[in-house]
Structure 1
Amino acid sequence: MIKADCPGIDFSDEPQDILCILNCGLLNGINTEIIIDQINGLGKVQDFVLRSHKSYCFLKFEAASDAEKVYEKFLCKKFWNDCAPLLLAYCRHLPELNQCERENDPDGLILLEEFITPELERTLISLVKCDDENKMKNRQVQHFGYEFIYGSNSVDHSCPLDRKIPKECDELWSLLDKAHSNLAGFRPDQLTVNQYQPGHGIPSHCDTHSIFEDPIISLSLGSAIIMEFKNPATGVHFSKLLPSRSLLIMSRESRYGWTHGIVPKVSDIVKSKQGFLTVQHRQLRYSFTFRKLRIPPSCDCAYKNLCDMKPTEVVSEEFVPKEVDENLAAKLEKENVHKVYNEIGNHFSETRHSPWPNVEKFIINVPENSILLDVGCGNGKYLSVNEKVTKLGCDRSETLLQVCVERGHRVFLCDCLSIPIRDNSVDACISIAVIHHLATHERRLQAISEMIRVLRLNGLALIYVWAKDQEKDNKKTRYLLQNQKKEESLSPTKAPEIATLTIDEKKIELPVHRNRTQFSHTSNGNVLVPWKLKQKEVGENEQKVFLRYYHVFNYGELESLCSEHKNVEIIDSYYDQGNHCVILKKVY
C-alpha cells in the first residue's frame, strides 16, 4: 500500500535519517504530539509526513544515529497500550507532499509578525471582560459594533450595538497603513473578541461573503496557535502558525475561497529556533477579529463553493421548510426514515454488498481483541471485517437487523440517540451514513455525543455523512456516474418537485431530490430522496416509491458539529466519494 501511495519510495536495510512507521498513522490515531512525546530525548525530528486516512507516517531526523535510536527502542514495541506493536523501516528520502497538502499560502493571506508591542498587547487584553453573560460553550466572547451570529457567520446590519470598537484599537490602523499600503484606509465597524482556554478551538468556517467586505483581519494575543486552512473546491489544506502579537490578513482568495479553523487540542507541533520540531503547549489566548460590513449585502466573487450568493443556493422561501421542534423531528424520522427502511430493508440490503475501502481500512487497523460498535449497522456489511476484533451492531430497522441475525452477527435494536451500552466500554465506533437521517442540529449533535460516551479514553470514532456537493475537483462521484438515464439536475430557476408531509396536523414542505443528480435545490440541506422498490417486492396496488428524509452536509459542517464536543480531537477529516468523513479521538 505504501509503495502504491508513494511511487519511488526507497527503503533501506541500513540506518538512514528517515524512519517510516509502517502500521501507524492518522487513520489509527497517531499524531505529531504523540510521536514527539514518545521519542523525546532520543532524537531531533526535523520533519513529518502524515497523510490523511493513511495508517503509516514518515519522520525525518537530524541524523541517522537519531533515527537508529528510535528504531532500536520501538521496533515491535507500542507507543501506548491500545496501539499495535510498531513496524519500522529506514527510508532514503521523504515522499513528496500529498497533493492535498500545500506549501505556499493562498493569494491574499498575509501574516505580519510582532505587529504590536507588548505594551499595546497588555492594553488590549485588559479590555476583555469575562463573565457568564459573554460565555459560550467553549470560550468567552464579546462583540463590538454588531453582534457576530455564530451558525450563519454573519451579522444583522439592522441591529447595531451601543458598544462600539474601543478607541484603544485605533493605533492598529495607523500601524496597518504603514505596514501594508494596499490596505491603507481600512477601518472596520465590527469586532469580535474571543478568549480561548488551552484545548478550545473554532470550527472550520468562512465568514459570509455578502455580509462582510474584503479583508477579514485577526489579531492574536497571549499565546501562539496553529490555524488550519482548507479549500473545499480542491480539498487542499495547510496549517499556519499564528504567533502572539501577530496580525493575520485574509483577503482575496484566502478570504473567499478558503475556510479557516482551529483544532481543539492543548498543544501544537512547531519548529524551534534551531529548526527542529517540538511540542508547544497552548496558553490562554485572545483573538480580536475585525470586519467591515457590506451594505447592502452583495457578492459577485468567483469562489462559488463558499459564496452565499451563488445561483444554485437561491431557493424560494416556499421551498424552505419551517424549523421543526424535537417532537416533530422525531415523528418525521419515524415516518420517513424508520418506517421506510423497514419496508425497503430487504431490497436495500441487496444493493449494499462491499465495504467502502476507507471504512474497511479503519476497521482493519483497530487493534486485536478490541471491541468495535457499528451504530446504524444496516445489513451488517462491516461486521464481517477484521475477525480479530469483537464487533457489535445496532440499528433502528427490524428488517435490516433480521438480515444481520441470519448472517450470524451480534446485533441489537436501538435508536442512535440512546445507545444501551455503558460509558467507556468500546474501543472504536463507526457510524456510516446514519447521522444525515436526523432532522435537527440538536439531534445530530446528540448522536455524536452518544458515540463519544460509549468510547473508552483514546478510542476512535469514524463518521460518514452524505455530502451536498457530489463533485470534487470537477470529477463526478460514483453516485452521479451511475445516472444511467443521464438525467440532469434541475436548473436553479426551475422549481423542484415539492412533497407536503402532514405530521400532527402540521404541514412540512420539502424538495424531492432527483436521484443520481446534484443536490441543487436544498439551501439548508433538508431533502427527501426517493427509493423505488423492484416490481417483485410490492403488490400491484401498493406504493412503489418511498421518500427518505436526509440532511445533506455542506463542507465543514460535520467538522463544526464534532467540534462542539470538547472531549474529542478531530484526528482527520476528508471527502470520500460524495461523503464528508471525520475520525474523532476521545481525549477525556
Structure 2
Amino acid sequence: MKPVKSVTITDDPQAHEDQHVHAVYDQIASHFSSTRYKPWPIIAKFLSDLPSGWIGLDSGTGNGKYLPLPAHRPGSILTIGLDRSRNLLQIAQHAGSEPGVLVTREVVWGDVLGSCWRSGVFDYAISIATIHHLASHDRRKLAVQHLLQAVSPIHGRMMIYVWAIEQDELSKRSIPASGTNGSDNHPTTGEDVFVPWMMSQHQHTAKGKFKGDTPSSATSKEDAAVAMIAAETPVYNRYYHMFAKCELKQLTIQAAEELGLMVGPQESANTKGCRGVEIIQEGWERSNYYVELRRWVS
C-alpha cells in the first residue's frame, strides 16, 4: 500500500503544479508510460460509439494510450493529444506503434488551462486523470469550462475521469479523508494529497546480484544490496486532488452554469436558441469518478 499523505497548499497553485506535477512527470515519463497501457472500458466504449469522421481532443493525453482508439475501427476518428510534459508527448506521438511499423499521432504541447483552440472546433473531448492534478477548485472548474467551450455547441460530447477518495480493494493507495457528512459516511469534499511514485526496483535488484555467489552465501549480500537500492531509489511526490462523491458532477454543473449553459436534457428547454449541456452518465469505476456530457442547442 502506497503511503498517501494529505497536503495543504500554501503556495501559488501554478507554482505548486509546476513542482509537484509537471516536473515530476517529466522525470518519470518513461517508467510511468510502461505502467499505463490498458484503456478504461467506459472510455474505450465512449470512443468506439463516436460517429466516423469526428475529430476530438485528449486534454492531458499523457503517453497517448487513447489516441489509437477505437482499435476495431482504426482511422474512423482522429484524436489530438495535448499535454504539458514534452517527455510524455514524445511517447504519445507514436502511441500504438508495433515493432517495425512506426505510427505518428497528432500531439500538441500545451496546458489544459490554455486557450489554444477556437470555440467549438472539436466534435468530442476527453480528459482522463488530468483535472485532479489542478491545485484549486477554480482551476479545476476552468479546465471543465475549456472542455465545454472546445466542443461543438450543437453535438459536442465529453468524458472526464478523476481519481476518487473511495478506492477499491485492488487499489495500491489508501486515501486519508478529512471529513464526512455523518449520514452515509462519505467525505463531503475532496482531499489534497501527495501520491508517491517510486522508480521500479526490479531492474536494479537484478543488477545488484553478486556473480559467483551460491544461493545460500549470497542471500545476506543480496538483501543488503536490495535495501541499499531501496534507500537510494528516488521517490517523486505527485499532487492530486482526490474527488469525493458527487464532487465531479457538481463541478461540471457549476462550470456549465457559469458559462450560461442550461444543465439538463434538450427536451427541457422552453425557449428557441437555448444552449445547454446534458449529463449522459456519471458514476464510479475502479477508484475513479467519471462524467459524460453532451452539448446541445434548442
Q: 1:558 to 1:360 in 2, by over 3 A?
A: same
Q: 1:389 to 1:426 in 2, by over 3 A?
A: same
- The 5-angstrom pairing of residues 157-556 of structure 1 reads 321=8, 324=10, 328-386=12-70, 387=74, 388-407=76-95, 408-457=104-153, 458-471=155-168, 476=169, 478-479=170-171, 516-523=172-179, 524-535=190-201, 544-556=234-246
Q: Is the 8 Å Cα contact of residues 64 and 93 (structure 2) preserved in structure 1?
A: no
- The 5-angstrom pairing of residues 133-144 of structure 1 reads none
The structure where helix makes up a greater share of residues is: 2
TM-score by length of 1: 0.37
Displacement after TM superposition at 1:543 (Å) = 5.9
The structure where strand makes up a greater share of residues is: 1
Letter in 2 for 1:569: E
Pick aligned residue for 1:583 from 286, 289, 292: 292
d(CA) in 2 for partners of 1:467, 1:520? 12
Q: 1:415 to 1:555 in 2, by over 3 A?
A: same
Quote the residue 2:280 is aligned against. Answer: 571
d(CA) in 1 for partners of 2:23, 2:233? 13
TM-score by length of 2: 0.71
Q: 1:542 to 1:409 in 2, by over 3 A?
A: farther
Q: 3-state SS of the aligned residue for 2:146?
A: helix
Displacement after TM superposition at 1:587 (Å) = 2.6
Displacement after TM superposition at 1:360 (Å) = 0.3
Q: 1:426 to 1:528 in 2, by over 3 A?
A: same
Q: How many residues are matched?
A: 224
Displacement after TM superposition at 1:430 (Å) = 0.5
Q: For the pair shown, which has the larger CA radius of gyration, 1 or 2?
A: 1
Quote the residue 2:224 is aligned against. Answer: none
Displacement after TM superposition at 1:385 (Å) = 0.5
- The 5-angstrom pairing of residues 15-34 of structure 1 reads none
CA RMSD for the aligned pairs? 2.0
d(CA) in 2 for partners of 1:465, 1:320? 18
> What stretches of structure 1 move > 3 A for 4+ residues in a row?
521-524, 540-543
d(CA) in 2 for partners of 1:354, 1:543? 26
d(CA) in 2 for partners of 1:369, 1:438? 32
* Paired-residue identity, %: 37
Displacement after TM superposition at 1:470 (Å) = 1.1
d(CA) in 1 for partners of 2:31, 2:7? 31
Q: Which runs of 5+ in 1 are unaligned?
A: 1-318, 480-515
d(CA) in 1 for partners of 2:61, 2:46? 15
